Amino acid sequence: MAYLLKTIYRSSRLGTLYYSRYRSTNPQRIVYSEEVSQAKLDGKPIVALESTIITHGMPYPKNLQTALQVEQIIREKGATPATVAILKGQLTVGLTKEQLEYLAQSKNAVKASRRDLAPVAAAGLDGATTVAGTIIAAELADIPIFVTGGIGGVHREGEKTLDVSADLNELGRSKTLVVCSGVKSILDIGRTLEYLETQGVCVCSYGDSNDFPAFYTPRSGYRASNRVADARQAAQLLFSAHTLQLQSGIVIAVPIPKEYAMDEKVIEEAIQLALEEAKKKGIQGKEITPFILAAVAKATGGSSLEANMALIKNNAKVGAEIAVEFKKLNNVNNPNVKFLKNKKDKLKSTAVKSGNDVLVIGGANVDRTYSVTEDHVKLDGSTHPCTTLQCAGGVGRNIAEILWRLQRGKTRLLTAIGDDADGCYLLDNIPGLIIEDSIVEGGRTPSYAAVLDANGECQLGLGDMALYDHITIDLYSLSQRIKEKQ
């Protein structure tokens, strides 16, 4: 008993020390919305969305309406939307309705590609991420699927001007699957496809045809090198790419719905007029695409804008379906998930029943101690011989263990652990102690590591406690429902 109480005190002291230091010294590279943060903790599928389409692609209030509708479509399909932007210098993944409205009305948001991210962040400005900028954020946030309207590419006469979108290079060095309606038809589609091939990007048409779409129209006159028939096949393609550890992206080109497709001649005439006007006014670089899109919308009486809105909504539906299928594939092929499925079946027979007097809510983690056997510990990258000890820890878990032993098993623990190897370890430590609702799919089980010198003094502590954020008032509400069933 004395040993267990000492363990509780030590875990509490070290955990509190770590958490306060973490909060005060760890810079926030990315700020997540509450919705996205919860989805990551729950292991739910997430779909990234760009924000340039809001600030530079559509006028207000059409841009806001479309953004909200796109997000809702993704939710209805079982995934979580994560619109990416830079707000006052902070890279943000997942925007609230208020933030979307702020961005939709902004006149000063910088169109932010790779080259712009650091300057915009350093200056504390607002930035709308392009395809390239969003891919970078999605990679940092570990979100493998991204939906947009159309990707950038080689501009017309790009062989003379060398005006090539940074989107293409980013696709060549990311692991992201991008769902789009092909390349914007204002660009040189043929040269863009050649460039993507050189970058090692897998380009697939979506549906029953290999025709590569041209944004406003379902056919560009070019054919994709690959084709996927549905979301399941697209997810399998992404899964295979990740299994092979390919460091290049995938483009899934979805044709615009037939009822919104525009006449090829009409749209081409409008594009040519817009290009001539841009040339006369000397508009170039990252300003040319928004200018041409606006000019084409004006020339077509707004029908191109309606087509743009329709295709991005359709892409959102497809992207969400792919994300859901990809999550299923990950679960099926994850040995820890298979183990935990069997574990959950066993847990159902040991879950809280009548006669279990105590339900503990609190943290559980795996503690590892590395005791260096040399006289001095040097934090210079050198390797030190040591002995290693691993045990189950966490203040809540330790208290639950004491009560479990005193009450001969009439105690259960409601906590937050991942469906990983450490989670399996904690479940096996005292079978039946941890309630099955504690398992967070896709989560990483909290852990703490202490480096001790030859005298047993702690020289360095490392804690991975992010999943503790899952222990909220909602977990308390769950505990009340569990107690009612006793």
What the block records as the tokens of 291 is: 């200018």
Alpha-carbon gap, residue 20 to 16, rounded angstroms: 6
Same-domain status, 329 and 346: no
Condensed to tens digits (0 to 9), the pLDDT of residues 428-466 reads 888 778 887 788 888 899 999 999 888 888 888 999 999
- The proportion of the chain whose per-residue pLDDT surpasses 70, expressed as a percent, equals 85
Q: Is the residue at 149 inside a domain?
A: yes
What mean pLDDT is predicted for residues 463-484?
Answer: 73
| Single-letter amino acid, residue 320 | A
The rounded radius of gyration (Å) of the Cα atoms in the chain is 26
Say if residue 268 is in the same domain as residue 360.
no
Q: How would you classify the pairing of strands 110-112 and 90-93? A: unpaired
Mean pLDDT of 101-123: 95
- What pLDDT shows up at residue 331? 75
Domain co-membership, 165 together with 177: yes
Q: Are residues 95 and 171 in the same domain?
A: yes
Instruction: Decide if pLDDT at 206 tops 90.
Output: yes
* The token pair that represents 219 in the structure block: 């056919």
Could you tell me if 345 and 181 are in contact, meaning their C-beta atoms sit under 8 angstroms apart? no
Average pLDDT score over residue span 213-223: 91
Per-residue pLDDT band at 150 (split at 50, 70, 90): very high
* Residue 454, pLDDT score: 84
Residues 303 and 440 in one domain: no
**What pLDDT is attached to residue 282?**
82
In a domain? residue 28: no
Shared domain for 238 and 193, answered yes or no, is yes
409 with 477, same domain: the answer is yes
Q: Which of 184, 286, 313, 327 is catalytic?
A: 184
Task: Tell me the CATH number at 368.
Answer: 3.40.1190.20
Residues 102 and 212 in one domain: yes
pLDDT tens digits along 310-324: 999 999 999 999 999
pLDDT of residue 248: 94
Residues 6+ apart with CB under 8 A from 410: 355, 356, 357, 358, 404
Is 391 part of a structural domain of the chain? yes
Query: Does residue 450 lie in a domain region?
Result: yes
Beta-bridged to residue 253, according to DSSP, are 180, 205
Give a yes or no: residue 37 inside a domain.
yes
Does residue 234 form part of some domain?
yes
Average pLDDT over every residue of 231-253: 95
Selecting among 50, 139, 170, 325, the annotated active-site residue is 50
Does some domain include residue 269? yes
Q: In which order are the strands placed within the sheet that holds 458-464? A: 386-393, 365-372, 447-452, 458-464
H and E: helices and strands count for the chain: 18, 19
Q: What is the pLDDT of residue 485?
A: 54
Cis? peptide before 27, omega within 30° of 0: no
pLDDT of residue 34: 87
Residues 44 and 182 in one domain: yes
Instruction: Identify the pLDDT of residue 133.
Output: 97
Tell me: pLDDT of 350 over 60: no
Cα(431)–Cα(438) distance, integer angstroms: 14
Pick the last residue of a domain from 333, 350, 375: 333
Which range marks the domain in which residue 404 is found? 2-23+336-484
50 is known as an active-site residue? yes
Q: Looking at 333, 358, 379, which one is the last position of a domain?
A: 333
Q: Are residues 223 and 264 in the same domain?
A: yes
Q: Work out how many domains the chain is built from and give that number.
A: 2
Does the pLDDT of residue 292 top 90, yes or no? Answer: no
| 292 and 340 co-located in one domain | no
Residue 234 and residue 359 share a domain: no
pLDDT higher than threshold 50 for residue 12: no
**CATH number of the domain enclosing 86:** 3.40.1790.10
Q: Which amino acid is at 321?
A: E
Domain boundary (333, 367, 382) is at 333
Q: 119 with 278: CB under 8 angstroms?
A: no
Please, what is the average pLDDT of the chain? 85
